[in-house]
Structure 1
Amino acid sequence: MRSIITYLIFFISISNVVIAQNPIKIGIAGMTHGHVHGLLGDKNNKDIIIVGIAESDTALVSRYQQMYHFDKSIVYSNLAEMLDKTQPDAVLGFGNIYDHLSIVEQCAPRGIHVMVEKPLAVNSTQAKKMKSLADKYKIELLTNYETTWYGSHEKLYEEVQKGTVGSIKKVMVNDGHKGPKKIGVEKEFLSWLTDPKLNGGGAIIDFGCYGANLITWLNKGEKPISVTAITSQLQKENNPKVDDESIIILKYQDQVGVVQGSWNWPIGRKDMEVYGEKGVITAENHQNVNVKIATGYNTYDQEDYQIKNREYPYNNPFSYFAAVINKTIEVQPYNLSSLENNMIVVEILDAARKSAQSHKEIKLN
């Protein structure tokens, strides 16, 4: 028995060494997205190694190099040169959303996998071109959301699938903060985040995408019948070119979704509520979930959960991406990172923009 246990320990140790010795080679496309700090600061991740960075802003590169101490020899002024010189297995996009198409156009023919920060694209026209390239060259094309890695959302999903609160009637997702300028995002990030071309819009895109992504996941890829949205500009001095307040209503066959993406919340939030016939499940943040089961008109039994981090590699976007590339896990259809889900997200955002501009309900095909 002892020999078997010893063998297993040895095998696991050897396996871990192999993983550490053979990390996925990662290239970074752009550094103007503030989420790049999550990658540059993930120094203990043994699943990846950064072999190249494409960024033309030399001042930005110098600032980040002083913070994270990466070798400046891996920095290139354009993506094509970085790809040819370093030959990464995969690229992570940390620039503006409009440039996501260009990243895929350059990576896909080279057989290089891509993960971009949310949302997938600024519009469905670009998203369809990206999907076509990914399908043609058989690369993985994933979208990264902070909320994908929340243990609370995993617990909420499990309770929904178990039927804990019965048939779902309404899902409400609330995301945002007091605004990018007010929270002090870096100037390079702010410049495109508040640009209607480079970001596709304001809060309706930046935070509306979270709710569209989560509701599409809960509904296993079902599209809404129609989309109705309103936007407002409540901080004209800070966001002169884009909306900073949005409400999107998604009508399904037997439920509704309400997505509130805002740059006007006094306190930052990423929470969601799922209302069923018997009760409500609330994911208050990344780890706290409560389930309320109705007992009367306004009474209920409540159970609270404090969720630990998700299990490896589902606790880290870069480890997850590496596992997908290594084919140790498979991206499930319509899950939060999947291309199928995020094509629908962009379609919903397109319709929401159109609805807000026309003041009409937009039906989806």
Structure 2
Amino acid sequence: MNLLFKVTLAIVLLMPNHLFSREVLKVAVAGLNHDHVHLLLNLYEQRKVDIVGIAESDEQLVRRMQTRYKIPGNLFYKDLATLLQHVKPTVVLAYNPTNEHVQVAELCMPLKIPVMVEKPLATNTGEAARIAQLAEENATLFLTNYETTWYRSNQRLKALLREQAAGTIRKMMVKDGHEGPKEIGCSEDFLNWLTDPVKNGGGALMDFGCYGANLMTWLKNGERPKAVMAITKQLKPMIYPKVEDDATLVLEYADGSTGIIQASWCWPYSVKDLQVFTTKEQWHAVNGTTLLKYTSHQKPESISLTNEYYENHLAYLEALLKGEVRADDDLSSLNNNVIVVEILEAAKKSAMEGKRVEL
């Protein structure tokens, strides 16, 4: 188990019980080969979520997960279609390859079952458009989960921008990534598709570029950039021969502001940070719990994170399904994440053709 996962899991395990609804969600799980599923299964062990069915065709993976988390055998199904014939979950959580998200939409949207997938939404704009069409036709939620959505630092920064207390955005910079999925100890089940150009749509560009595109679209209130330029590199071809492991994206907006996304499997350490330069000052969300304000090169001011937000995707889903919050243009929304896929596809084209791509 890698260090980043251990730290994230420790945070989840230390959350007090009152942060979770007394009526836990009844969820079905589509796929088990995304390592983020361990966070869900640990919450299942603590009875903070009710898993009513799991769709997974890999029998060895099923046996490992069943043994590790003491899951009853009657919860497992060979595929999602069979599962949905037997149970009606409140929501489906997908932990499968990105190019299979559209298949989950094809099955769940006509049944009016909300879905949340792990980021990104899709591998290309065709898949994203089909998911959006199905969600609209069936008036059913299709959401995307990002770790950085639950960072209180990001939520506080957005609140300050909304209140016009932080000035007008001129430049945004996002760094996301780590030493590499193999280097940090991701499972072979995960690596098999994460490093596949078809199943994941690419490498580090898709895996970590989506974070920056997601945050920037949110900070710009759903605005689509007018153009994208990108450079991708293969710094470790012996480890990742099929995909890029480093990517830099530059997003141009109509008002002259710029977004710079640095996504990599080649950082010397794990990083997920956000910097915003405005007409007044610089803001730096160093991590999920630290937000700094710079008005000069002197010592920064640490901003109090007084805002309350959902601790994780389950708490958010509970509130959303109860009608306590809307998902119109937030970080998990379909509106935001269709644009994210457009940005990533433009970036791939730019890197391949060596030129600026207009959206």
Q: Does TM, normalized by the shorter one, top 0.5?
A: yes
Report what 2:182 is aligned to.
181
* Cα distance in 1 for residues equivalent to 2:89 and 2:162: 39
Match of 1:340 among 335, 344, 352: 335
Report what 2:205 is aligned to.
204
Q: CA deviation at 1:68?
A: 1.4
Give the share of equivalent positions with the same residue, in percent: 43
Q: Which amino acid aligns with 1:311?
A: E
Deviates more, 1:249-258 or 1:66-75: 66-75
Q: Which amino acid aligns with 1:255?
A: S
Q: CA deviation at 1:230?
A: 0.6
Report what 1:355 is aligned to.
350
Report what 1:285 is aligned to.
287
Report what 1:238 is aligned to.
239
* Cα distance in 2 for residues equivalent to 1:38 and 1:326: 23
Report what 2:312 is aligned to.
316
Residue 304 (structure 1) aligned with residue 271 (structure 2): no
* Cα distance in 1 for residues equivalent to 2:165 and 2:324: 32
Report what 2:42 is aligned to.
41
Q: C-alpha offsets along residues 128-148 of structure 1, whole Å, 9 cap, x if unaligned?
A: 101111111111110000000
Report what 1:140 is aligned to.
141
Instruction: Identify unmatched segments of 5+ residues in structure 1.
Output: 1-15
Report what 1:267 is aligned to.
269
CA shift in 2, pair 1:43/1:307, >3 Å: farther
Match of 1:326 among 322, 326, 334: 322
Q: Which amino acid aligns with 1:61?
A: V
Specify the SS of the correspondent of 1:91.
Answer: strand
Larger radius of gyration: 1
Specify the SS of the correspondent of 1:195.
Answer: coil
Report what 1:64 is aligned to.
65
Give the alignment of 1:1-20 within 5 angstroms.
20=22
Give the alignment of 1:46-195 within 5 angstroms.
48-195=49-196
CA shift in 2, pair 1:166/1:111, >3 Å: closer
Q: C-alpha offsets along residues 318-353 of structure 1, whole Å, 9 cap, x if unaligned?
A: 12112222323221x321001100010000001001
Q: TM-score, normalised by structure 2?
A: 0.91
Q: Which amino acid aligns with 2:302?
A: D
Q: CA deviation at 1:301?
A: 5.8
Q: Decide whether the 8 Å contact of 1:165 with 1:275 is kept in 2.
A: no
Report what 1:9 is aligned to.
none
Specify the SS of the correspondent of 1:197.
Answer: coil
Aligned length: 339
Instruction: Identify unmatched segments of 5+ residues in structure 2.
Output: 1-17
Q: TM-score, normalised by structure 1?
A: 0.89
Q: CA deviation at 1:244?
A: 0.3
* Cα distance in 1 for residues equivalent to 2:249 and 2:323: 36
Q: C-alpha offsets along residues 233-272 of structure 1, whole Å, 9 cap, x if unaligned?
A: 0010111000000000000122000000100001000001
* Cα distance in 1 for residues equivalent to 2:315 and 2:250: 34
* Cα distance in 2 for residues equivalent to 1:46 and 1:223: 41
